[in-house]
Structure 1
């Protein structure tokens, strides 16, 4: 049924492979040409410097006269001439390499131009493949089921990603709260030891920071909870954040009115730490679920594509 279409797909894929082979080679040669042009220029500059050194020693400059007087001019000149020969050899080698690369590039360029009609082979291939896929989807129950499974997995993976994103936001807010409460507790100890107005001010400032972070965490927590409701079926496990929600409600009810007491600051800090532990464990479950869904989806995508390609 699909013999002619399959032949067209096979020919197009092979022609595309050949075009991409030559095009990739051309790109590499273009890059090599740029690199060797730079090397030729560097070695030319070095060669010119060595030539200048020899010319200076051959002239009656002050340095040449000085070396002549102390009997080392010939030795010095021999060293400079040797360096000049080495530099010339390096320059010639670079020029030959550049020339060879340019000749290769011209040949490959011709091959690419000869295959230019396949530059957009993937689009043409996808049109033919899509035609075959649509025809199969109307008739083949197995392919229909794979398509449904693929869409279901893709949807669940998207929901897991959304839940993970909200969980990461919540984690950042709780970490800010933990840091602020820890600092407030430390300033509170200093205040109890007679730290004075500065320590009291710093403690209150850190408590304000903690309040902002906790309010943000409360908002994030409720969003996270809603996202988790959407992914329960995807990860086949119960995710409980009830304790963390109760903790957030407690913070809102008290509004930091009596939290200036030192032991309550430390208690709040421990509750935030517990919340952090709970969120991290939940995020780990989500990330495991995301990895599993991604692997299943990639496997299903390969099976689906192979099924369409092999149908005859």
Structure 2
């Protein structure tokens, strides 16, 4: 068997093993994220129950509440608590949806990894390494060490390239989903303007609430896309010797910031604009990350070309 054929088989087995290790890491990450999201659900649920209890207290008769109603404080307090409760309810719904999606991702990864026999692949890989050592002893014993080091570097570069390509796909998906959110917010802004300046009415109100539901759905789709992008970035950071430093906290939890304003935003045009600005900033953050990935990919391509030339020089000795 030729050296090129042995190396090709080694590469195929190496990349299979890499895929298994990646899925194992993703299963661990997803399990942690599901647990964390479960805690968030519990927290939001408890906070929402407390707020509902406080709203019931505001509605019940008391002399303090009577005085508040005379001074206008009662309605102001009620409005503040309703806004906060609405924001919490949206966060709770988002967390439940996120947990469901992450659970589906986990199930998919467990099903996929069950198709592989890790021990068998490791044994096959060891056999190829032995065959390569024997080939070098027979044909080129003097170049063995240099060639083995180059091929190890080559495999690691190809491994990182695959991860970056997968992260780019996830990043582009997140950007597309975020643009959908902006389009939905713009549509909601239009209906909010109609509701404000045309006096509302059943049809305007009905259409506006449809846009609320649509925007919530679009935001969740963007949120899970961002979470998947973050998980791909974590894979890159785990295998890269020259770590790609990316702060993902600002965009992975973007929905929380939007939900803090979003309930009152449907009737206040300026707050919808504020939400759109926040989503635009998230898009810019993701794009900046994508530029870093492109730069890293360019360096990898150069490195792979350099390794290929060195290998040819050695094998032609």
Superposition pairs for residues 1-312 of structure 1, below 5 Å? 135-136=135-136, 139=141, 140-194=144-198, 196-232=201-237, 233=240, 236-251=243-258, 257-262=263-268, 263-308=270-315, 310-311=316-317
With the length of structure 1 as denominator, give the TM-score of the two structures.
0.51
SS in 2 for 1:261: coil
With the length of structure 2 as denominator, give the TM-score of the two structures.
0.50
Deviates more, 1:167-176 or 1:132-141: 132-141
Gapped regions of structure 1 (runs ≥ 5)? 6-130
Shift of 1:294: 1.8
**Structure number with larger C-alpha Rg:** 1
Deviates more, 1:287-296 or 1:211-220: 287-296
Could you say if the C-alpha distance between residues 305 and 260 of structure 1 is closer, same or farther in structure 2, counting changes exceeding 3 Å?
same
Deviates more, 1:210-219 or 1:291-300: 291-300
Shift of 1:243: 1.5
Gapped regions of structure 2 (runs ≥ 5)? 3-130
Q: In structure 1, what is the Cα distance between the partners aligned to 2:245 and 2:208?
A: 39
SS in 2 for 1:240: coil
8 Å CA contact 1:173–1:213 kept in 2: the answer is yes
SS in 2 for 1:183: helix
Q: In structure 1, what is the Cα distance between the partners aligned to 2:306 and 2:133?
A: 18
8 Å CA contact 1:171–1:276 kept in 2: the answer is yes
Q: In structure 2, what is the Cα distance between the partners aligned to 1:198 and 1:270?
A: 28
Q: In structure 2, what is the Cα distance between the partners aligned to 1:299 and 1:235?
A: 18
Could you say if the C-alpha distance between residues 303 and 249 of structure 1 is closer, same or farther in structure 2, counting changes exceeding 3 Å?
same
